[in-house]
């Protein structure tokens, strides 16, 4: 039997016998000739069957094919510039239906996103969806390569926790034998634990959970968190430098491998950002946004989504850059473990990273002095006794350290200029979606 060839490899293959397998994308059943577009995980190719007495058996099978059926075919590969689909086609010899699809397709090209999510496995057959996850694979591989080459240690932290690491309001509580446990909102405490353990530099790519009843286009209740933590830093500037180097490495790898496909399928000319990324203190960013005619209405010293879009537009116009670090957030809106400014305790050594107008990450220098941590926890209304397991990390020696957490799906969404997170998540989880 002829070995299966991926469609993407056909163009470089010589004319002659070939076997391909995939699903039926379209069928044109004409009187004298039949055309089938077969698509596999790598691309699409045209199959042709001239109708003669000798090919009537194959012709009958083609006439009964439904869209989405998986087939295996053998035939003669021919390079022909007149063929619009890739300049190649396969003249059929045999056709085997591996599994037939139900003729009535539950979704169409114009189906709404909720309907498409109900039938996600069919929605994922679209070429642009296939590309999303190949881009994701390349991006994560580039990040891991960066980390490994810079002597980071990969860790896998537990997702069942005895207490909160961030806000109790966003915790999922689950039964745990005779007691209760919580799904981890982030690996924050555990990646910090690696610092007194002497690991130095660590990273993790893993699931995180937020019981946030948001129905926005950029929130999910389960998401993939990209985290890093490093020892021996002088300030959050060291974390920002790490962060931008990582983003440049990832975007460069994606552009080199998928840039042409991204342009063809998404109409996006991917840009590899220059270093350093612009850095703007939050107070200054708000002033800039106000001068552009938009006053951030929030009273909690944070930037709202429109403010993020406005400052990103300013940075693009002024610096030609898709990224900007907003720095020096108020202590009132940051977690208790963020280090305060040495000369202004109302501000923190922290930042948000904005990409194409949307926040994708929060990073900071952590407070490593246990007595200061205890006082800052009390300020936030937390009981230090409930944090004892965490505070113990700092009672036995810990170096100055910092890190960040970043949403993988948001990065992909913004990289590909998509308007909804659901388009770049394999299976989305939100307040009203637990299936499929």
pLDDT recorded at residue 429: 97
What is the percent of the chain with per-residue pLDDT over 70, rounded to a whole number? 98
pLDDT recorded at residue 74: 97
pLDDT recorded at residue 162: 87
Long-range contacts of 196-199 (CB under 8 A, 24+ apart): 196/393, 196/394, 196/396, 196/397, 196/398, 196/399, 199/153, 199/155, 199/231
- Which residues pair with residue 71 across a beta bridge? 22, 97
Structure tokens at 48: 């042709």
- Average pLDDT over every residue of 370-376: 97
In order of their start, the domains of the chain are 7-99 (2.40.50.140), 121-424 (3.30.930.10)
Query: Per-residue pLDDT for 223 more than 90?
Result: yes
Nearest to 187 by CA among 412, 422, 420, 403: 403
User: Cα(405)–Cα(360) distance, rounded to whole angstroms?
Assistant: 9
Query: Which residues contact residue 302 at a Cβ distance below 8 angstroms, ignoring those fewer than 6 apart?
Result: 329, 333
Mean pLDDT across the chain: 95
Q: Which residues are annotated as a binding site?
A: 166, 210, 359, 362, 366, 407-410
pLDDT recorded at residue 168: 66
Whether the upstream peptide bond of residue 276 has omega within 30° of 0, thus cis, is yes
Q: Which residues are annotated as a binding site for L-aspartate?
A: 166, 210, 362, 366
Nearest to 238 by CA among 357, 127, 325: 325
Query: Per-residue pLDDT for 83 more than 90?
Result: yes
User: Cα(48)–Cα(8) distance, rounded to whole angstroms?
Assistant: 18
Categorize the per-residue pLDDT at 165 as very low, low, confident or very high, splitting at 50, 70 and 90: low
Query: Which residues contact residue 361 at a Cβ distance below 8 angstroms, ignoring those fewer than 6 apart?
Result: 243, 352, 353, 404, 405, 406, 407
- Average pLDDT over every residue of 273-295: 97
Q: Where are the alpha helices (DSSP H) in 216-340?
A: 236-266, 282-291, 305-319
Q: At CA 294, angle to CA 288 and CA 298, rounded to 5?
A: 95
Query: Per-residue pLDDT for 66 more than 80?
Result: yes
Say whether 206 sits in a helix, a strand or coil: strand
Query: Per-residue pLDDT for 169 more than 90?
Result: no
Helix (H) or strand (E) holding 44: strand 43-50
Query: Per-residue pLDDT for 211 more than 90?
Result: yes
Q: What number of helices (H) and strands (E) belong to the chain?
A: 11, 16
What does the buried/exposed string (b/e) look like for 111-140 if buried means 16 or more CB atoms within 10 Å of the residue's CB? beeeebbbebebbeeeeebbbbeebbebbb
pLDDT recorded at residue 210: 94
Instruction: Name the E strands within 51-111.
Output: 70-79, 88-99
Indicate the Cα dihedral angle 206, 211, 216, 219, nearest 10°: -10
Q: Give the Å distances, CA to CA, from 294 to 241, 282, 283, 286, 322.
A: 30, 15, 14, 9, 20
User: Cα(221)–Cα(209) distance, rounded to whole angstroms?
Assistant: 6
pLDDT recorded at residue 167: 60
Asked if 314 and 288 touch (Cβ cutoff 8 Å), the reply is yes
User: Cα(362)–Cα(260) distance, rounded to whole angstroms?
Assistant: 31
pLDDT recorded at residue 81: 94
Asked if 331 and 338 touch (Cβ cutoff 8 Å), the reply is yes
Query: Per-residue pLDDT for 2 more than 90?
Result: no
Q: What is the DSSP string of 108-161?
A: -TT--HHHHHHTHHHHTTSHHHHHHHHHHHHHHHHHHHHHHHTT-EE----SEE
- Average pLDDT over every residue of 205-218: 92
pLDDT in tens, 386-423: 899 999 999 999 999 999 999 999 999 999 999 999 99
Query: Which residues contact residue 318 at a Cβ distance below 8 angstroms, ignoring those fewer than 6 apart?
Result: 278
pLDDT recorded at residue 170: 86
pLDDT in tens, 14-46: 999 999 999 999 999 999 999 999 999 999 999
Categorize the per-residue pLDDT at 297 as very low, low, confident or very high, splitting at 50, 70 and 90: confident
pLDDT in tens, 311-360: 999 999 999 999 999 999 999 999 999 999 999 999 999 999 999 999 99
Q: Which residues are annotated as a binding site for ATP?
A: 359, 407-410
Categorize the per-residue pLDDT at 109 as very low, low, confident or very high, splitting at 50, 70 and 90: confident
pLDDT recorded at residue 215: 87
């Amino acid at each position: 039997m002829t070995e299966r060839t991926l469609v993407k490899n056909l163009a470089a293959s010589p004319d002659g016998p070939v076997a391909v397998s995939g699903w039926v994308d379209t069928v044109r059943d004409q009187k004298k000739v039949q055309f089938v577009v077969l698509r596999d995980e790598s691309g699409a190719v045209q199959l042709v069957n001239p109708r003669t007495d000798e090919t009537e058996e194959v012709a009958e099978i083609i006439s009964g094919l439904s869209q989405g059926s998986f087939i295996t075919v053998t035939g003669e590969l021919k390079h022909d510039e007149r063929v619009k689909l890739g300049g190649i086609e396969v003249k059929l010899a045999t056709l085997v239906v591996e599994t037939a699809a139900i003729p009535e397709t539950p979704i169409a090209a114009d189906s709404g996103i909720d309907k498409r999510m109900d039938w996600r496995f069919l929605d994922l057959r679209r070429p642009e969806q296939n590309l999303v996850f190949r881009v994701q694979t390349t991006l994560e591989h580039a990040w891991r390569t960066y980390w490994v080459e810079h002597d980071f240690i990969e860790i896998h932290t537990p997702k069942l926790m005895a207490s909160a690491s961030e806000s109790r309001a966003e915790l999922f509580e689950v039964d745990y034998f005779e007691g209760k446990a919580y799904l981890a909102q982030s690996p924050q405490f555990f990646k910090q634990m690696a610092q007194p353990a002497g690991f130095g530099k660590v990273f993790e790519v893993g699931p995180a959970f937020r019981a946030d009843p948001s129905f926005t286009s950029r929130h999910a209740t389960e998401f993939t968190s990209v985290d890093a933590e490093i020892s021996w830093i002088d300030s959050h500037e060291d974390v920002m430098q790490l962060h931008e180097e990582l983003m440049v490495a990832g975007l460069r790898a994606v552009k080199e491998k998928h840039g042409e496909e991204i342009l063809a399928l998404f109409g996006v000319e991917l840009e590899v950002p220059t270093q350093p990324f612009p850095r703007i203190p939050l107070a200054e960013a708000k002033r800039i946004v106000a001068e552009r005619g938009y006053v951030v209405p929030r009273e909690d010293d944070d930037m709202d989504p429109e403010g993020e879009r406005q400052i990103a537009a300013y940075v693009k116009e002024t610096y030609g850059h898709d990224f900007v670090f907003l720095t020096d957030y108020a202590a009132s809106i940051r977690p208790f473990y963020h280090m305060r400014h040495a000369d202004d305790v109302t501000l923190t050594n922290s930042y948000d990273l904005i990409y194409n107008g949307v926040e994708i990450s929060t990073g900071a220098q952590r407070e490593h002095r246990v007595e200061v941590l205890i006082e800052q926890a009390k300020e936030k209304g937390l009981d230090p006794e409930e944090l004892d397991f965490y505070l113990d990390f700092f009672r036995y020696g810990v170096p100055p350290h910092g890190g960040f957490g970043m949403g993988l799906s948001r990065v992909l969404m913004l990289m590909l200029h998509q308007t909804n997170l659901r388009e770049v998540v394999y299976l989305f989880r939100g307040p009203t979606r637990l299936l499929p």
